């Protein structure tokens, strides 16, 4: 029986993936950030460092294009680059915030573009009207590696664009014709860079959602492989695996360990009289009673047909008998309401056996409990019977 939460989660993800604009459902948002922190954190660090060094390399061009402020440009850009690299290293080493790192490059471009246009406006070089077109690289760099938050990237891009347009306006002394020409060239670059950012964020969401869907599918298949579909209990194979692990991984001294096997009395009569549909409901109700009656450490499974098996860790034979009797009574007191006038009562017979200090073989103890179950059936049903063995 697959967890309802997993079913709802899978449906949410499948719905999100069908949308034109893929959004991560709110309940997975923190997991989305965590996923990309592991996937992209080192990448963000590398891209930021390379981009900051690329910005610093423009100081060489400044030396030739803006000779009157070349030395100042080298000094300021070196200082700014070192500052940004220090902040980048600090985030990478101490903060570990993927949200901050996702916008680190665009935010650093805000300051870089403001600094660059300040230098342009300080210079009297005749190459300024040509050199200002190099600012197109700022908006491309700003959106180069945005992977998480597109809206924030848009706002920062608009801020960078405002700085660039103001800087251009003053650099060309308010020449409207040149400003219009710059805007005509700049606009497609802006739109293209935003498309890169949008495409990257969409891709990162799709990759995460597919990864999450694959995880949920694997978990569902794992549950189906180890769970009895009708009752939601462990199936036979899973019980044997869990029981053997528990038996063979006990620390010394060996802890007491007991086992119960029970089945539904006259279950064939229930199926014949009321049909297999009602018989299935009886098994489901018994499984639910077991969940409420047994302890959290007890391992229960549907062993086959109407037969159930329970491993009782840290339980002596006497304690196992008490648990078996409590379970028998709980099931006997229960009923299945067929309609407003008819209630179906049912009982179980239980065989009890204990693992000895020298006998830790699961199959051997199952046979002993099975013999005790046969004795309970032979003695009239709706009772417990114990197989006593020497330790």
User: Does 222 have pLDDT greater than 90?
Assistant: no
User: Does 2 have pLDDT greater than 60?
Assistant: no
CA dihedral (237, 356, 373, 382) positive or negative: negative
Number of C-alpha atoms within 13 angstroms, CB side, residue 181?
Answer: 10
User: Does 204 have pLDDT greater than 60?
Assistant: yes
Angle in degrees, 0-180, between the axes of helices 176-226 and 236-248, rounded to the nearest 10: 90
Confidence grade of residue 340 (pLDDT, cut at 50, 70, 90): low
User: Does 160 have pLDDT greater than 70?
Assistant: yes
User: Does 5 have pLDDT greater than 70?
Assistant: no
Helices (DSSP H) in 123-248: which residue ranges? 128-131, 136-142, 150-171, 176-226, 236-248
pLDDT of residue 147: 87
Q: What is the mean pLDDT of the chain?
A: 91
Mean pLDDT, range 5-25, rounded to an integer: 87
Of 136, 212, 190, nearest to 167 (Cα)?
136
pLDDT of residue 237: 93
pLDDT of residue 389: 60
Mean pLDDT, range 19-40, rounded to an integer: 90
Write out the two tokens for 95: 């903060």
Write out the two tokens for 243: 């029981």
> Is 260:303 a contact under the CB 8 Å cutoff?
no
Residue 390 burial by Cβ neighbours in a 10 Å radius (0-12, 13-18, 19+): exposed
The pTM assigned to this predicted structure is 0.69
pLDDT of residue 391: 46
pLDDT above 90 covers a percentage of the chain that reads 75
For strands 343-345 and 335-337, give the pairing: antiparallel
Of 147, 141, 63, nearest to 109 (Cα)?
141
User: Does 115 have pLDDT greater than 50?
Assistant: yes
Instruction: Kindly report, residue by residue over 300-326, the tens digit of the pLDDT.
Output: 999 999 999 999 999 999 999 999 999
pLDDT of residue 253: 72
Of 362, 374, 84, 381, nearest to 237 (Cα)?
362
> Is 49:85 a contact under the CB 8 Å cutoff?
yes
Which H or E run includes 57?
Answer: helix 29-65
Instruction: Kindly report, residue by residue over 245-289, the tens digit of the pLDDT.
Output: 988 887 667 889 999 999 999 999 999 999 999 999 999 999 999
Confidence grade of residue 97 (pLDDT, cut at 50, 70, 90): confident
pLDDT of residue 20: 84
> Is 344:274 a contact under the CB 8 Å cutoff?
yes
For strands 299-304 and 335-337, give the pairing: unpaired
Write out the two tokens for 225: 């492989």
Number of C-alpha atoms within 13 angstroms, CB side, residue 214?
Answer: 6
pLDDT above 70 covers a percentage of the chain that reads 97
pLDDT of residue 4: 62
pLDDT of residue 252: 65
CATH of domain 236-387: 3.30.70.270
Please tell me the total number of residues recorded for the chain in this structure.
391
User: Does 109 have pLDDT greater than 90?
Assistant: yes
- How far apart (Å, rounded) are the C-alpha atoms in residues 222 and 55? 51
pLDDT of residue 3: 60
User: Does 234 have pLDDT greater than 90?
Assistant: yes
pLDDT of residue 378: 95
Mean pLDDT, range 179-201, rounded to an integer: 94
Higher pLDDT, 220 or 299: 299
Q: Where are the chain's structural domains?
A: 4-219, 236-387
User: Does 11 have pLDDT greater than 50?
Assistant: yes
């Amino acid at each position: 029986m697959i967890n309802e939460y997993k079913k709802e989660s899978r449906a949410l993800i499948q719905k999100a993936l069908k949308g034109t604009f893929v959004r991560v459902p709110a309940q997975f948002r923190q997991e989305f950030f965590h996923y990309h922190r592991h996937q992209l954190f080192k990448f963000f660090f590398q891209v930021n460092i390379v981009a900051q060094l690329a910005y610093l390399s423009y100081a060489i061009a400044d030396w030739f294009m803006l000779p009157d402020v070349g030395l100042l440009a080298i000094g300021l850009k070196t200082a700014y680059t070192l500052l940004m690299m220090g902040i980048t290293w600090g985030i990478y080493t101490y903060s570990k915030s993927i949200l901050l790192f996702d916008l680190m490059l665009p935010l650093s471009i805000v300051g870089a573009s403001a600094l660059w246009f300040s230098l342009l406006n300080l210079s009297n070089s005749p190459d300024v009207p040509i050199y200002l077109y190099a600012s197109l690289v700022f908006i491309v760099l700003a959106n180069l590696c945005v992977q998480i938050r597109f809206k924030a990237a848009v706002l920062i891009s608009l801020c960078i664009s405002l700085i660039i347009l103001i800087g251009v306006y003053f650099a060309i002394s308010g020449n409207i014709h040149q400003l219009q020409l710059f805007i005509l060239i700049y606009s497609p670059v802006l739109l293209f860079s935003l498309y890169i950012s949008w495409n990257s964020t969409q891709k990162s969401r799709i990759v995460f959602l597919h990864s999450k869907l694959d995880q949920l599918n694997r978990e569902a298949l794992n549950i189906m492989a180890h769970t009895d579909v009708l009752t939601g209990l462990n199936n036979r194979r899973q019980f044997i695996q869990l029981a053997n692990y528990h038996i063979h991984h006990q620390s010394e001294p060996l802890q007491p360990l007991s086992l119960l096997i029970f089945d539904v009395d006259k279950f064939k009569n229930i199926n014949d009289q009321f049909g297999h549909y009602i018989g299935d409901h009886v098994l489901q109700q018994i499984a639910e009673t077991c969940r409420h009656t047994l302890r959290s450490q007890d391992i229960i499974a549907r062993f086959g047909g109407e037969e159930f098996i329970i491993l009782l860790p840290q339980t002596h034979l006497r304690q196992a008998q008490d648990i078996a009797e409590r379970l028998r009574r709980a099931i006997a007191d229960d009923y299945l309401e067929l309609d407003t006038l008819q209630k179906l009562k049912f009982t179980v017979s239980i065989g009890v056996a204990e693992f000895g200090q020298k006998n830790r073989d699961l199959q051997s103890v199952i046979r002993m409990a099975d013999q005790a179950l046969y004795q309970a059936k032979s003695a009239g049903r709706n009772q417990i019977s114990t197989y006593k063995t020497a330790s």
